[in-house]
Structure 1
Amino acid sequence: MGDIVDWQSIENDEFLKQFLSCDAKQSNVNQVLSVAQQLNKLGQAIAVLDTELQKQVLANHEDLLSQATWVEKLEDVLSIMQAHVQSLLSAVERLRGKIVEPFNRIETQTIMLSRLHETSDLLRRVSRMQHLSRRLHSQMNTCSSGPDIVKAANSLHELEQLMSDVDLSGLDVVADDQQAIKVHRATVQRIATHTLTQGLQSTDRTQVGTAVQVFSNLGVLQGAVDTTVTSALSEVEKVAREALEVSLPTNQDIKRGGPGRATLPSPGSSGNLRTKLWANLERLFQDSVYTQCIQIELLQRILLEYHAKGFDDLSETFWSKITTLLAKVLLERSQASSFVKQALEGEYPKFLRIYLDLSKRLKERPQAIGTYTINRNVISSFENPYLSRSVSRLLDPVHTMFSGDISPGQDDIDSLIRTVASELSVSLVDEGLSTVVARNVGKAIRLFCLKCEQALITDGEASQVIDAPTPGQQTNVTLANLLHYLSTQTSRVVGNLAGSLPAEGASIIATALEQIDVVTKNILTPLLASVNDAIESIILTMHDDPEFRETASPLGKEIGCSLYMRELQGFILRCVNTFLVPYKNQTAVAECCKSVVSRCIELFVRHACLLRPLTDYGRAKLIADFIQMEVAVTPLCRGGQLGLSEQQQYRTLRALRSLLPLSPEDMVEKVLEGGGEGGVPPSLVLLHLFSGAPSDLPSPHQSAGWSISRLSHWMDNHTSERERLALSSGPLQRYQTLVRHKNLPSFHPLFPLMMKLASLGDR
């Protein structure tokens, strides 16, 4: 433990550190040093401090002297300021004495003046109240025709304003007047309420206006209007519940029969109750509800004339409340009474008509204010069950028709049509209902079509065209005719309702009827496919006819119709008369036959161009067959030639017939100029030119080793002119190679012409 010689020693000494720290704790050094040693250290430290202080004083004695001088000057300034403050306090006390006393006097006078003013105002109010009270008493008692409630209401309004700003309780001088005012107010309000009720019932604008003015002056206009609306709703609810309080007589009300006899209601009791129910509903809507709506509308009109605020939609609000109320009462009564429920659901269109008539009657008045839109909640609980029954009434007959082994007849369809007409007729009361019912009619039509499709005969028996019609074909004809009968009868019903049935509903039924034509065409499709196959087989036989290869006409024989053409004409005519005429939907038959006619002409033209060899006599005979082809397909065309002229294949037939008499050069020139009279494809003309070519130039099917039938099938699958011309180019190129290989001097005269046509496929 060294001696303490300077500041650093004090700071570094473990014992003295505890005196330098603010939160010094008991050091372990204290336990090591004795008391004498601790005192010694403290003495040394104090000596060091004294020495340091002396050094600091000697070093900074000028600054210390300057600070001491300024302290003395500051004390002088403070003493002067103290004197000034004392003087200021004295002045403030004197000024306070001069202000407080006048203020207190003024305050006292002000309070007295205020009290005098209040007293004067109270006396003036009391005087005015007494005057108005006497005038009110006079207005209530002196009029010979009864109280003048408008003037009385004005007086009451002014009295209430006088009493509203001040507390008059405890003033005996006005106690009697206050009591009289309350009595008169109640009397005026009661009279005004009665006047308003009478005015609304008699639609007297003057009375209603008087009541409105009185209620406005009394400040209870909103409450009076609310009370009137509530009263109107209560009246409608009362009438509605009474109107629907109709039920079948109970067993106690029915006179019992003798022993062993059933207890039954008296004849006609249910019908009479139903008649009564509808009469009650008619009165409810057309009398009670209509009257209340008219009264509320009159009240709103008067309120708007008096510029009352907050009543712009009074009629709309009342209509909304009354329809909600009706929906509630109708639902409650229908749930409580099965009779009411059955009546409203079973004759829903009648109920809807009553409701719609009310809305229409309210809206079509010239002075109508509200829109009176239909609230679907009033009718929805009865509409859905009715529509369910309606669709059942339409679909059940269809299911019944096809439930047995016997096909339905026209009587069954007539029964269905009567149901359709009935359902559509009763639905005309509302466009929305008519549309839904029309949709149900469409479902019935589609179901009938589905049942017919399920009953069709679709095996080979239905498509044969060789023998007489089979039972299966007769069944299909019967079903198709039933479909057509259903279509015509339904269209007749819709036509009779034209102008009444909504356009959307008529469109829905028309769309459903289109399904009938689809089913009829599906019935005809396999039959006509067999007809097409038979026609193709007959046309193929032209290649076996030797007359096309004869060089000259037999002696005394005129050029006439070929055997295959006569067979074709006879077959088509027999098919039409035997298999197609029994179908009554000839429009659908004609539509389906268009494809048969087109196919027949296409095959004839194709195979006519494939005939080889073809002599001049054969060409003349072929031209005659072209004419006979028109005769052959005419039975299939609705409207004869008019039906044919609409088809491209027919125009090709006519165009090719005009080309056949021409020379090959002229024929090719016509094709190059514009397709051979504007309608013959170059590939067909090229096939026809092969008929006069030498044996070294085989036809395309001969070159490929195909039969004529296979070539025809290939052409059905390859309709592109480029592909067909490419097929014919192969034999031409091989012929060209053969001629060059044999070093022949020239080509056949037809070859250049044929190459010109074949080159069209390269463009």
Structure 2
Amino acid sequence: MASPAIQRLSTFKPPTHPTTPSTTPPPPSSASSSSSITVSSPTPSPLDTFSSDPIFSLFLSPDFDSTRFSSSALSSGSAASTAEKLQHGVRLLEHQLRSEVLSRHPLLLSQLSSLQHAELALSTVRSAVSSLQSSLRRVRSEIADPHRQIKIKTVQLSNLHHTTELLQHTIRALRLSKKLRDLMAIFDAEPDKLDLAKAAQLHCEILSLCNENELAGIDVISEELVWVSETGNRLRTEAMKVLERGLEGFNQAEVGTGLQVFYNLGELRTTVDGLISKYKSQGVKSVSVALDMKAISASSGGGFGPGGIRGSGTPQIGGGQKAKQALWQRIGNCMDQLHSIVVAVWHLQRVLSKKRDPFTHVLLLDEVLQEGDPILTDRVWEALVKSFASQMKSAFTASSFVKEIFTVGYPKLYSMIENLLERISHDTDVKGVLPAISSEGKDQMVATIEIFQTAFLALCLSRLSDLVNSVFQMSARGSVPSKEHISRIILRIQEEIEAVQLDGRLTLLVLREIGKVLLLLAERAEYQISAGPEARQIAGPATPVQLKNFTLCQHLQEIHTRISSMINGLPTIASDVLSPSLGVIYGVACDSVTSLFQAMLDRLESCILQIHEQNFGALGMDAAMDNNASPYMEELQKSILLFRSEFLSRLLPSSTNAIPTGTETICTRLARSMASRVLVFFIRHASLVRPLSESGKLRMARDMAELELAVGQNLFPVEQLGAPYRALRAFRPVIFLETSQLGASPLLQDLPPSVILHHLYSRGPDELQSPLQRNKLTPLQYSLWLDSQGEDQIWRGIKATLDDYAAKVRARGDKEFSPVYPLMLRLGSSLTENAPVSRKP
């Protein structure tokens, strides 16, 4: 049975009078209710019971779905029992809620009492706010009228202040105008005494004062501004006259005065821009006028009648020379005008870069140029170069007459451009000041006439190539150019060089074209040269083929010598340009006769090789008293004499056609080389002769004398051969020295080590074999091997034979060696140490 308190709680009804939301206590949360139930009742909390119940625990899940729960309950077949259990749970919760309300009944009553007190306080605040608003309305009505009076007085004071300022500015403007009038009165009386800068400063101050303070509406100021404006125009006119006069006469003081006037007027930048535009226009116009063919014809008296200009820009018959002179004269005048313009702009720029305003100390150039702007001279020069390039290109394509004049006369045109650039550089070369034109600017102007440079070089190449083609015709291979033809080619080349030699750059360009022509000439000459067996025969008189080769060699030699002498006075770089082409010319000239000289040298060497067929080991007085030369030497003499009479006499320069002193011809060089080779080859094989008796030595000495005489008289002066001649002169006495004297003889210094060592084999025993014998080689084979080896390799071969000899002696049990053995060891070691590593004959 329930207690009476629970029964009263169940019959408790909430009061019917409304309550404000602010005074209603918030309902306890489920957590607090659970806590209250747990504390006030010893029985377990319904929530704890629900959490352990399989059905009620589902309701505590945050993702509880009533539809899914109902569907599950219905499908389980026990829907009635589940509904009854849920009703029991609801009753349990209601019972718990009643317990909570009953336990907190005093607290709820106290909350109701607090709401009543708050309502009383709020009514008091409403009364105070209403009283405050009433006071504010009374204060507003009391201060509104004084505020309105203050505002009116403030406006009146502001107007008075503004009026006072206008009066002050007006009076100041009138005073400044009075000063300006006084200055202009002085100018009217004595124009030279006018201070333009001061007048401009006053003019600028008046206008600035009127504009800044809006004085233009005042009658007296408006009337004064009319006169001030007229005065400003007069000041600009006078200042421009001074400025232009200063620029024309390069007077820095006058230019500075004019610039200062325009700076004071506030028009410096626009004035300078106007001057630059004017100079640009003048330069462009001067270039255009210089290449106006109609004007050129009119000025030369041609008009449009006979001698005038045709539609294609070509003068009529009879007027070409006058038009040409007029064209060059106009170009000269154009160069003078461009010089004056550039120097004037540079002078303007120079003064701007030095002049500062005396009051603000501002550099005038900073007022004219902004950061990143090109300097004045660059602006003008760029316009001039662009105009000049355009006019030159137009003249090249539109006027065949101008194209021809400037192509043929390109050196003169280039010289005028160079002269212009040099004059500008000279006149603007001032320490501490930028020049008027940079090196890049000069290159730009030179590039404007490159189209004529290309045509000029092509014309130069064409002229020379046509001349070479006419002299060396491909269709007439058998014909040989005459000396006059060669002289014409050389003269034409000399004229081309002399036409441009005053300018180094142009000279190099022309030399490159000449180099191409020389290569063409070498190619044509090489085509004319014969290289068959007939060109190499030396058994009989010179054949027509050989005579043709001789003539071509002499012609090419003449071209090489003359052109080399032309460029001797030029800078080294000029020689470097032509050296490859001249080298080709020289090579072709050598090829025309080298095979002949080589054939002759082979013939002479074959004669010398016959020395090994002679018996130099014979004993007896008959051999010693025989004064005749050896058969091989007689054959060699005959061959040399025939070569001299039939070939060298035609190749070497005659007294009437002497080569300049210090210059060696191709044939002279080949003859000298042949003579040296003959002497060296003879000494080599003479040293290989074995055995060599005393009578054989006499015979060999006679052969040496005959050889020296034949070579000196018919090939080349032996005294001028140097080392080969000294070796020949040394070898003759060496063969007569005793073996014991050889080691200390000074003659050994003039002989190659291999020659001495080979000669010593002739003094040794037979079992001391030479490399020739040891390797079973022919004299020719061994000689070819010697040509390909240096002295150190030759010594190794000789040393091997010495080692073989020593082994044989030791094998016999002998203790003594031939006297030449230790001498050869000592001489070989010492001489090869002091001799060059690779000395070839």
Fold match, TM over 0.5?
yes
The one of 248, 256, 259 equivalent to 1:212 is 259
Measured after TM superposition, the shift of residue 366 of structure 1 is 7.4
Are the aligned partners of 1:352 and 1:429 in contact in 2 as well (CA < 8 Å)? no
Label 1:184 to 1:651 Cα distance change in 2 as closer, same or farther (>3 A).
same
Are the aligned partners of 2:259 and 2:268 in contact in 1 as well (CA < 8 Å)? yes
The one of 558, 567, 582 equivalent to 1:485 is 558
The one of 159, 181, 196 equivalent to 2:206 is 159
Q: 2:381 — aligned with what? A: 319
* Percent identical: 24
CA RMSD in angstroms, aligned pairs only: 4.9
The one of 505, 518, 528 equivalent to 2:574 is 505
Does 1:391 find its partner at 2:461?
yes
Measured after TM superposition, the shift of residue 534 of structure 1 is 1.0
The one of 351, 355, 364 equivalent to 1:306 is 355
Q: 2:527 — aligned with what? A: 454
Does 1:380 find its partner at 2:427?
no
Label 1:41 to 1:322 Cα distance change in 2 as closer, same or farther (>3 A).
same
Does 1:277 find its partner at 2:339?
no
Q: 1:342 — aligned with what? A: 404
Q: 1:633 — aligned with what? A: 711
Q: Partner letter of residue 489 of structure 1?
A: R
Label 1:694 to 1:253 Cα distance change in 2 as closer, same or farther (>3 A).
same
Matches within 5 A, 1:585-596: 586-596=664-674
Are the aligned partners of 2:460 and 2:496 in contact in 1 as well (CA < 8 Å)? yes
Q: 2:170 — aligned with what? A: 126
Q: Partner letter of residue 408 of structure 1?
A: P
Q: After superposition, what is the alpha-carbon deviation per residue over 1:158-210, rounded to whole angstroms, capped at 9, x for unaligned? A: 02321343344654553333444444334433443344334444556555444
Label 1:683 to 1:426 Cα distance change in 2 as closer, same or farther (>3 A).
closer
Are the aligned partners of 1:205 and 1:302 in contact in 2 as well (CA < 8 Å)? yes
The one of 602, 614, 620 equivalent to 2:680 is 602
The residue matched to 1:582 in structure 2 has which SS?
Answer: helix
In 1, Cα distance between the equivalents of 2:553 and 2:538? 18
Are the aligned partners of 2:624 and 2:699 in contact in 1 as well (CA < 8 Å)? no
Please, which moves more after superposition, 300-309 or 119-128? 300-309
Q: After superposition, what is the alpha-carbon deviation per residue over 1:40-61, rounded to whole angstroms, capped at 9, x for unaligned? A: 7356235336538958998xx9
The residue matched to 2:665 in structure 1 has which SS?
Answer: helix
Matches within 5 A, 1:39-438: 41=86, 44-45=89-90, 47-48=92-93, 50-51=95-96, 115-137=159-181, 139-140=183-184, 143-145=188-190, 148=194, 149-168=196-215, 170-172=217-219, 174-201=221-248, 207-246=254-293, 253-254=305-306, 267-286=317-336, 288-307=337-356, 308-310=364-366, 313-365=375-427, 370-372=435-437, 373=439, 374=442, 375-403=445-473, 404-405=475-476, 406-438=479-511
Measured after TM superposition, the shift of residue 215 of structure 1 is 0.9
Label 1:555 to 1:538 Cα distance change in 2 as closer, same or farther (>3 A).
closer
In 2, Cα distance between the equivalents of 1:467 and 1:107? 139
In 1, Cα distance between the equivalents of 2:330 and 2:522? 44
Between Structure 1 and Structure 2, how many residues are aligned? 732
Matches within 5 A, 1:676-695: 677-680=748-751, 683-692=754-763
Are the aligned partners of 1:189 and 1:215 in contact in 2 as well (CA < 8 Å)? yes
Measured after TM superposition, the shift of residue 744 of structure 1 is 9.1
Q: Partner letter of residue 123 of structure 1?
A: L
Are the aligned partners of 1:297 and 1:315 in contact in 2 as well (CA < 8 Å)? yes
Label 1:23 to 1:392 Cα distance change in 2 as closer, same or farther (>3 A).
farther
In 2, Cα distance between the equivalents of 1:285 and 1:175? 51
Label 1:226 to 1:530 Cα distance change in 2 as closer, same or farther (>3 A).
same
Does 1:618 find its partner at 2:668?
no
Measured after TM superposition, the shift of residue 385 of structure 1 is 1.4
Are the aligned partners of 2:46 and 2:92 in contact in 1 as well (CA < 8 Å)? no
Measured after TM superposition, the shift of residue 394 of structure 1 is 2.3
Q: Partner letter of residue 721 of structure 2?
A: L
In 1, Cα distance between the equivalents of 2:814 and 2:61? 143
In 2, Cα distance between the equivalents of 1:294 and 1:56? 112
Measured after TM superposition, the shift of residue 223 of structure 1 is 1.1
Label 1:688 to 1:407 Cα distance change in 2 as closer, same or farther (>3 A).
same
Q: After superposition, what is the alpha-carbon deviation per residue over 1:402-455, rounded to whole angstroms, capped at 9, x for unaligned? A: 115222222222222232222222223432111111222222223222222222
Q: 1:261 — aligned with what? A: none
The residue matched to 1:550 in structure 2 has which SS?
Answer: coil
Please, which moves more after superposition, 349-358 or 372-381? 372-381
In 2, Cα distance between the equivalents of 1:25 and 1:164? 87
Q: After superposition, what is the alpha-carbon deviation per residue over 1:520-568, rounded to whole angstroms, capped at 9, x for unaligned? A: 333332122112211111112223334x233123299365643433443
Are the aligned partners of 2:472 and 2:481 in contact in 1 as well (CA < 8 Å)? yes
Q: 2:636 — aligned with what? A: 568
In 2, Cα distance between the equivalents of 1:337 and 1:696? 95
The residue matched to 1:283 in structure 2 has which SS?
Answer: helix
Q: 2:735 — aligned with what? A: 660
Label 1:565 to 1:638 Cα distance change in 2 as closer, same or farther (>3 A).
closer
Q: 2:47 — aligned with what? A: 7
Measured after TM superposition, the shift of residue 289 of structure 1 is 1.7
Question: Which of the two has higher C-alpha Rg?
Answer: 2
The one of 644, 648, 651 equivalent to 2:721 is 644
Label 1:693 to 1:216 Cα distance change in 2 as closer, same or farther (>3 A).
closer
The residue matched to 1:253 in structure 2 has which SS?
Answer: coil
Are the aligned partners of 2:246 and 2:254 in contact in 1 as well (CA < 8 Å)? yes
TM-score, normalised relative to structure 1: 0.81
In 2, Cα distance between the equivalents of 1:315 and 1:225? 12
The residue matched to 2:203 in structure 1 has which SS?
Answer: helix
Are the aligned partners of 2:280 and 2:384 in contact in 1 as well (CA < 8 Å)? yes
Are the aligned partners of 1:126 and 1:174 in contact in 2 as well (CA < 8 Å)? yes
The residue matched to 2:736 in structure 1 has which SS?
Answer: coil
Q: 2:590 — aligned with what? A: 521
Please, which moves more after superposition, 338-347 or 295-304? 295-304
Q: After superposition, what is the alpha-carbon deviation per residue over 1:334-359, rounded to whole angstroms, capped at 9, x for unaligned? A: 43323222222221111111222222
Q: After superposition, what is the alpha-carbon deviation per residue over 1:544-595, rounded to whole angstroms, capped at 9, x for unaligned? A: 334x233123299365643433443443344244323433474333433444
In 1, Cα distance between the equivalents of 2:702 and 2:86? 157
Label 1:555 to 1:367 Cα distance change in 2 as closer, same or farther (>3 A).
closer
Q: Partner letter of residue 423 of structure 1?
A: E
Q: After superposition, what is the alpha-carbon deviation per residue over 1:120-144, rounded to whole angstroms, capped at 9, x for unaligned? A: 3232222222333454455556723
Q: 1:260 — aligned with what? A: none
Q: Partner letter of residue 564 of structure 1?
A: Y
Please, which moves more after superposition, 564-573 or 598-607? 564-573
The residue matched to 1:549 in structure 2 has which SS?
Answer: coil
In 2, Cα distance between the equivalents of 1:291 and 1:5? 116
Q: After superposition, what is the alpha-carbon deviation per residue over 1:286-313, rounded to whole angstroms, capped at 9, x for unaligned? A: 2x22222333233334434533124694
Please, which moves more after superposition, 375-384 or 468-477? 375-384
Label 1:116 to 1:394 Cα distance change in 2 as closer, same or farther (>3 A).
farther
Matches within 5 A, 1:662-741: 662-667=737-742, 669-670=743-744, 677-680=748-751, 683-692=754-763, 700-702=771-773, 704-722=775-793, 725-726=796-797, 729-730=800-801, 733=804, 737=808
In 2, Cα distance between the equivalents of 1:110 and 1:200? 59
**Structure 2, gaps ≥5 residues long:** 1-43, 309-313, 357-363, 370-374, 654-658, 834-841
Q: Partner letter of residue 546 of structure 2?
A: Q
Measured after TM superposition, the shift of residue 276 of structure 1 is 0.9
Q: After superposition, what is the alpha-carbon deviation per residue over 1:86-117, rounded to whole angstroms, capped at 9, x for unaligned? A: 99x98xx99x989x999999888777655544
Are the aligned partners of 2:406 and 2:413 in contact in 1 as well (CA < 8 Å)? yes
Label 1:714 to 1:305 Cα distance change in 2 as closer, same or farther (>3 A).
closer
Are the aligned partners of 1:682 and 1:757 in contact in 2 as well (CA < 8 Å)? no
